[in-house]
């Protein structure tokens, strides 16, 4: 399961906490990101420094979504799963 999914534009946003900093967490994230990308998704990860500032985080996500929404992107074939 992903943290934020924007199906129409093929975007997944992941919010990474401390568990993602471990070797095992990093490997798991890399493997998962690869599978999502192979399925046609774009993956963007954010750490706590940005997520802990809700206004900044919302503004960044809004800008990313707006810029991608202007593009003609195909819809990924497979749903996002954990």
Here the contacts of 59-68 (C-beta below 8 Å, separation 24 or greater) are 61/4, 61/13, 64/11, 64/13, 65/6, 65/9, 65/11, 68/6, 68/9, 68/10, 68/11, 68/42
**For residue 74, is pLDDT > 70?**
no
Residue 26: inside a domain, yes or no?
A: yes
Q: What does the pLDDT look like over 21-48, one tens digit per residue?
A: 668 878 988 999 999 999 999 999 998 8
Residue 59: inside a domain, yes or no?
A: yes
Mean pLDDT of the chain: 84
Structural domain count of the chain: 1
- List, in order, residues 6 or more apart from 27 with CB less than 8 Å away: none
Residue 46: inside a domain, yes or no?
A: yes
**What range does the domain containing 29 cover?**
4-69
Residue 33: inside a domain, yes or no?
A: yes
Residue 76: inside a domain, yes or no?
A: no
- Pairing label, strands 11-16, 4-6: antiparallel
Tokens standing for 6?
Answer: 């924007």
Residue 45: inside a domain, yes or no?
A: yes
Indicate the pLDDT class of residue 14, thresholds 50, 70 and 90.
very high
Report the pLDDT value the prediction gives residue 76, as an integer from 0 to 100.
55
Residue 55: inside a domain, yes or no?
A: yes
Residue 52: inside a domain, yes or no?
A: yes
């Amino acid at each position: 399961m992903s943290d934020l999914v924007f199906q129409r534009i093929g975007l997944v946003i992941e919010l990474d906490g401390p568990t993602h900093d471990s070797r095992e967490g990093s490997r798991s994230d890399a493997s998962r990101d690869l599978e999502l990308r192979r399925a046609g998704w774009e993956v963007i990860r954010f750490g706590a420094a940005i997520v802990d500032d809700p206004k900044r985080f919302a503004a960044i996500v809004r800008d990313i979504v707006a810029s991608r929404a202007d593009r003609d992107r195909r819809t990924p074939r497979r749903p996002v799963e954990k």
